Structure 1
Amino acid sequence: MRKVWLLTLGAFTLGLDAYVMAGLLPVLAADIGTRVSLAGQLVTVFTLAYAVSAPLVAGLFSGARPRLLILAALAVFTLGNGATALAPSLGALLAARAVAGAGAGVYSALSTAAAAALAPEGRRGRALALVMGGMSAGTVLGVPIGVLLAEHTGWRATMWLLTGLGGLALTGLAVLLPQVPAGPAVPVRARLAALTDRALAPVVGVSFLAAVASLGLYTYLAPVLAAAGGVDEVAPYLWAWGVGGVLGSLLVGPLVDRSGPSGPGRPTGRTPADPTGRAVDGGRRIRVLVGGVLVAIVAAQALLPWLAGTALPGAVAALVVWGAAGWALQVPQQHRLLRLSARRGTVALALNNSALYLGSAVGSALGGLALGSGLAPYALPWAAAGVAAVGLLLHVVAGRRARVAAGVSTLGSYEHC
């Protein structure tokens, strides 16, 4: 597992870079002489480049040596951050953020797949959780530090900090990261088929809807708490959400390992193709875990306005649960994608990462439109909970279809015996 920690440092830098820019926008806009609304497009460009690059590169270079691609992606990400720190104008900043976002997207997908490949038998969930925990820790620990540094020394200092962290991670990986087993080459037709795969599409769809609900609402947490509970200082509540995210990312790993196909489980003996029944039983347990996490997101978001208006400690508790569930969700989701699509696992993970960032962008945009159209800020968590509930419904329906398909397959196996 020590090898996975190297990948986690890069994930930490990604998590910091993905969220710190929102806090730097006012200072950055004043420095380069533009409006905050225009400077906000730096976040949009980074997000879109991240979302598009991950499945594109993962597909085009499937079968190539993952170690080389990981190092190249992290190098591109680091160079993009260095170019951001040096950029003299908005146009140059937009180009630099696109480069950084492209490198981040590719690194995120490949590092997740590499962590799973390098993990010992029965510890894949813990490995995935470490990488996801690195991203959430970058948000919790790195973003406040980055914003504080920008307030005292300028936003460019924060970007140099990101560049230095990226360079440190790149050096460590170049020296210590072993060769990662390469997956099989995936033909173009198979890569495109992943977009419409009936097993993969619902999983990615749930990730997208959860990101719309969770990361989209996070963007507007300050006005939500101000309207619901009269909260002026939002920083402690952001920390509560972030601490919950770190805890959820790390604690879910052992649960996934115990629930997954390679973990312990009582044999079902239901299919000749799998006399132990372990894969079938493990898959069901993972689906139950994902369903429970989605229920927690829905409940925490639905209760947040009421708790913020009546009991602020209750609001803190809701934020911890929401943060923990929102970040924890992706570990079993990634585990499911690797299990459902072993042959094109990296492509599936890249699609899932794209869904996360697109969901974040869509959630932020929809939240802004809702508030702009007159929706009271305190009602926004209810709308987010509704989106998460749709994700839960999709998860339940897809699970039922999978069980029906498995039953038909089992019947066919017995008929051929």
Structure 2
Amino acid sequence: MKLVYLLGLGAFALGLDAYVTAGLLPVIADDFGSSVSATGQMVTTFTLAYAIASPVFATLLSASRVRVGLLGSLAVFALANAGSALAGSLPVLLVTRAFAGVGAGLYLALAAAAAASLVDKERRGRALAVIMGGMSSGTVLGVPAGVFIADHSGWRTTLWLVTAIGLVSFAGLALRLPALPAAASVSLKQRAQVVTDPRVASIVGVSFFAAVASLGLYTYFAPVMESESMGGVEGITPYLWAWGIGGVVGSVLIGTLVDRVRRPYTLVVGILTLLVLALLAVRFTASIHPLVALAPIAVWGAVGWALQVPQQNDLLEARGEKGGPVAVALNESALYLGSAVGSGLGGVAFSLGWDGSVLPLWAAGAALIALLLQLTAVRASVTRREKTTPAMALTGASD
């Protein structure tokens, strides 16, 4: 597990970079003299590039060069953040955010697959939880600190901090990470079969809509909480802490649950139900008093981060050694594509003059779609598998 924690360190840098910009939107918008909706597209470009890079580069990368891929993606990530810190205009910032997304997308897909391959099957859930825990820890520790630094030294200093952590992670992996076992060779036909597998498609669809809800709303956390209907919050740091701490707790505890629960389908249903209720509660509790909203915000963070561990585990189980990493990369792509769509729709809402308090309600609607998809398409695929497995076993026995 030591090597898994080393991979989790790189995920920490990614988690910080992916979400710290949500707390910096108003500051960056003021610096460039642009609107919040236009500046928010830097999150869209990052997540969209992430979504594209995860499956495309995971496909192109040789199965025997996992270590090279991990180090190369982390180097691109760090250099792109340096470019973001030096950006003199919003268009340049958008381009560098896209390159940062490419590096992040490839790294996390490879790190999740590598973590699963470094432990036995009984500890796979915990290994995946370490990677997601690194991402969420980057949020809970880095985002509030990044916002604090930006308030005192400017938003560029925060991005230099991200660059430094990325370079430290790169150095640590370069020095200590040995050659990783090569993944099984997967043909183009087998990759296509992964994409067209109904079970994979339904699981990935759930991840997409959950990300539209959870990560899309988080992009506009600051302007949403600044709405008068949400209490007119000026300092969002306590709320970032609540979301981030919830995320760490959820992503750490879920690994043990995944290893113990025999029906991950039911576990995901419970997580999505809590997500819908938490997003609804954010809007209504904030209208009472902003501090009351800290509780549902923490639950939102916990279940939002916890969801991806059983999703990844189910995909690895569904597709096995050959197709599992491809399915995980596809899921990561859907996760960040959902984030890009959610942040893009949020930008449209603000450009149309909508009040920020509406966004949590729309996010709850997207989470409800994910829950309904889990209750229908995913359940149907699980039922088919349960009926098929005994038949296959009997066929094998008769042979």
TM-score by length of 1: 0.86
Q: Is 1:403 aligned with 2:380?
A: no
Change (3 A) 1:336 1:415: closer
Alpha-carbon distance, 1:223 to partner: 5.1
1:282-361 correspondence to structure 2 within 5 Å: 282=262, 285-310=263-288, 314-342=292-320, 343-361=322-340
1:240-279 correspondence to structure 2 within 5 Å: 240-259=242-261
Change (3 A) 1:14 1:405: closer
Change (3 A) 1:386 1:44: closer
Alpha-carbon distance, 1:132 to partner: 0.7
Deviations along 1:338-367, whole A, 9 cap, x unmatched? 111121222211111111111112112223
Bigger helix share: 2
One of 360, 366, 369 as aligned partner of 1:387: 366
Change (3 A) 1:378 1:87: closer
Decide whether the 8 Å contact of 1:32 with 1:90 is kept in 2: yes
Partner Cα separation in structure 2 for residue 41 and residue 313 of structure 1: 29
Unaligned stretches of 5+ residues in structure 2: none
One-letter amino acid of the structure 1 residue matched with residue 245 of structure 2:
V
Aligned to 2:233: 232
Decide whether the 8 Å contact of 1:62 with 1:186 is kept in 2: no
Partner Cα separation in structure 2 for residue 177 and residue 67 of structure 1: 8
Decide whether the 8 Å contact of 1:16 with 1:135 is kept in 2: yes
- Compare 188-197 and 24-33 and name the one that shifted more: 24-33
Aligned to 1:278: none
One-letter amino acid of the structure 1 residue matched with residue 373 of structure 2:
L
Alpha-carbon distance, 1:35 to partner: 5.6
1:34-45 correspondence to structure 2 within 5 Å: 37-45=37-45
Change (3 A) 1:87 1:125: same
Change (3 A) 1:256 1:28: same
Deviations along 1:240-281, whole A, 9 cap, x unmatched? 11111111011111111112xxxxxxxxxxxxxxxxxxxxxx
Q: Percent identity?
A: 53
One-letter amino acid of the structure 1 residue matched with residue 379 of structure 2:
G
Q: Secondary structure at the match of 2:122?
A: coil
Q: Is 1:363 aligned with 2:342?
A: yes
Partner Cα separation in structure 2 for residue 401 and residue 118 of structure 1: 29
Partner Cα separation in structure 2 for residue 40 and residue 370 of structure 1: 12
Partner Cα separation in structure 2 for residue 354 and residue 240 of structure 1: 26
One-letter amino acid of the structure 1 residue matched with residue 303 of structure 2:
A
Change (3 A) 1:147 1:61: same
- Compare 369-378 and 1-10 and name the one that shifted more: 369-378
Alpha-carbon distance, 1:36 to partner: 5.2
Aligned to 1:203: 203
Aligned to 1:214: 214
TM-score by length of 2: 0.90
Change (3 A) 1:25 1:384: closer
Decide whether the 8 Å contact of 2:217 with 2:343 is kept in 1: yes
Deviations along 1:372-399, whole A, 9 cap, x unmatched? 5576544433332222121111112122
Deviations along 1:141-168, whole A, 9 cap, x unmatched? 2122222222322333222211111111
Runs of 4+ in 1 over 6 A off after TM superposition: none
Decide whether the 8 Å contact of 1:65 with 1:181 is kept in 2: no
Decide whether the 8 Å contact of 1:183 with 1:344 is kept in 2: no
Change (3 A) 1:379 1:48: closer
Decide whether the 8 Å contact of 2:143 with 2:240 is kept in 1: no
Alpha-carbon distance, 1:136 to partner: 1.2
Aligned to 1:165: 165
Change (3 A) 1:105 1:308: same
Q: Secondary structure at the match of 1:64?
A: coil
Partner Cα separation in structure 1 for residue 179 and residue 324 of structure 2: 18
Alpha-carbon distance, 1:80 to partner: 1.3
Q: Secondary structure at the match of 1:344?
A: helix
Partner Cα separation in structure 1 for residue 6 and residue 61 of structure 2: 22
Decide whether the 8 Å contact of 2:37 with 2:346 is kept in 1: no
Q: Secondary structure at the match of 1:186?
A: coil
Q: Secondary structure at the match of 1:122?
A: helix
Question: Could you say which structure has the larger radius of gyration?
Answer: 1
1:172-183 correspondence to structure 2 within 5 Å: 172-183=172-183
Change (3 A) 1:118 1:10: same
Decide whether the 8 Å contact of 1:216 with 1:359 is kept in 2: yes
Alpha-carbon distance, 1:207 to partner: 0.4
Unaligned stretches of 5+ residues in structure 1: 260-281
Partner Cα separation in structure 2 for residue 93 and residue 223 of structure 1: 20
Alpha-carbon distance, 1:64 to partner: 2.6
Change (3 A) 1:380 1:89: closer
- Compare 343-352 and 213-222 and name the one that shifted more: 213-222
Aligned to 2:76: 76
Partner Cα separation in structure 2 for residue 82 and residue 412 of structure 1: 54
